[in-house]
Amino acid sequence: MRRTAALAVFALVFVACSSNSVATTLPATTVPPNTSSTTAATSTTSLTTTSLPATTVTTTTVTTTTVTTPPPGAVHVPFTSTLSLDIYGSGGPTVVLFHGGGWVTGSPADIAPLAEAIAQRSAVVFNAPYRLTFEGGGFPMTFEDAACAVRFAAAHTAEYGGDPDRLIVVGYSAGAQIAAVVALAGDTFDGDCLVEMNDTLPTRLVGLAGPYNTDALGPLLEPFFGTDPAVDPEPWRLGNPLTYLGRNPDLVVRLIHGDQDQIVPLVFSQYFEQQLSDHGYDVTLTVVPGADHGDIADPAAYGGLAVDAAVG
């Protein structure tokens, strides 16, 4: 109940902040057609700058329950001194999966059906948690946990028949923003990890309805970053995937977003695609007509679009 209420509050605040501040942060532009876009894409959206009233944000402390037993078919394995992830499947590419929840709520259980569906396509899936904003997380701890999960997967996937050279990072909603940072940032984040630093970089990023440009969210993310960006912009810079454009240049990026998403507006993915393309990445944005925010992570929706993107 608390998790549902928190997510409802987050959705209302997110829409208010994103509808107001995306336009003020992203430069005025029309997203150009990209030759790599799929046939599911619909019309492009113009990003314009407007003068908008200030938005008041109220934050609420959220209490969640940590799942300590693995879901059916999964192996529960520690990857930091305090966190464990769920491993599904055997053989094939290595997939690291991050849940959504607005940086304040959620757990791997929320996207266990997607993890199971990807594993059934002959992949080893590491469904990983990360510390949440009001539970010891925020910057940089959340990114340290995510980077550790990727590092752990690369080091241990062979034990399950996985291929460490096909390392795919998948994230949904806020998890997509986190996935984008760790896929691009390389060894920037080094936290409490049960494996040594290694030089294995993700080969593919799959972002599902992600709010990538965190600068556009303004007050909503001040609790996460622990600072006002006008006072201390450095955490905001290091926590934004746009900062790392140019790194990991061989990364293949697949973005999926619904054109009816009322929680994370489509312009986030359109702008991220444009920036990735401008920096020479192999990037495709699939815009799903009629899809809302929750539809995108449903493994059965739209012919298994998210699963197809994950396993390539």
Please tell me the distance from the alpha carbon of residue 33 to that of residue 191, in angstroms, as a whole number. 40
Residue 85 in this model has a pLDDT that exceeds 70: yes
Task: Report in angstroms the alpha-carbon separations of 145 from 137, 179, 200, 250, 305.
Answer: 9, 11, 16, 24, 27
pLDDT digits (tens, 9 = 90+) for 131-170: 999 999 999 999 999 999 999 999 999 999 999 999 999 9
CA 54 – CA 293 distance, rounded (Å)? 25
Phi-psi region of 303 (alpha: psi -120 to 50; beta: other; left: phi over 0): left
Any domain includes 52: no
Q: Structurally, how many domains does the chain consist of?
A: 1
Of the candidate ranges 11-20, 175-184, 253-262, 271-280, the one whose mean pLDDT is the lowest: 11-20
Provide the 3-class DSSP secondary structure of residue 301. helix
Beta-sheet strands, E only, within the chain: 29-30, 46-47, 75-78, 84-88, 92-98, 124-128, 162-172, 204-208, 252-258, 282-288
- Specify the CATH number for the domain of residue 302: 3.40.50.1820
The three-point CA angle 307-311-312 to 5° equals: 110
Residue ranges making up the domain that contains 225: 2-24+74-311
17 assigned to some structural domain: yes
Q: Is residue 51 part of a domain?
A: no
Q: Indicate whether 49 belongs to any domain.
A: no
The per-residue pLDDT for 44 is 34
The structure tokens 């997110």 sit at 14
Whether residue 69 lies inside any domain: the answer is no
Residue 194 belongs to a domain: yes
Can you give the pLDDT at residue 71? 64
Residue 270 pLDDT greater than 50, yes or no: yes
**Is residue 63 domain-resident?**
no
Q: Return d(Cα 159, Cα 203) in angstroms, integer.
A: 20
36 occurs within a structural domain: no
Q: What pTM did the predictor assign? A: 0.82
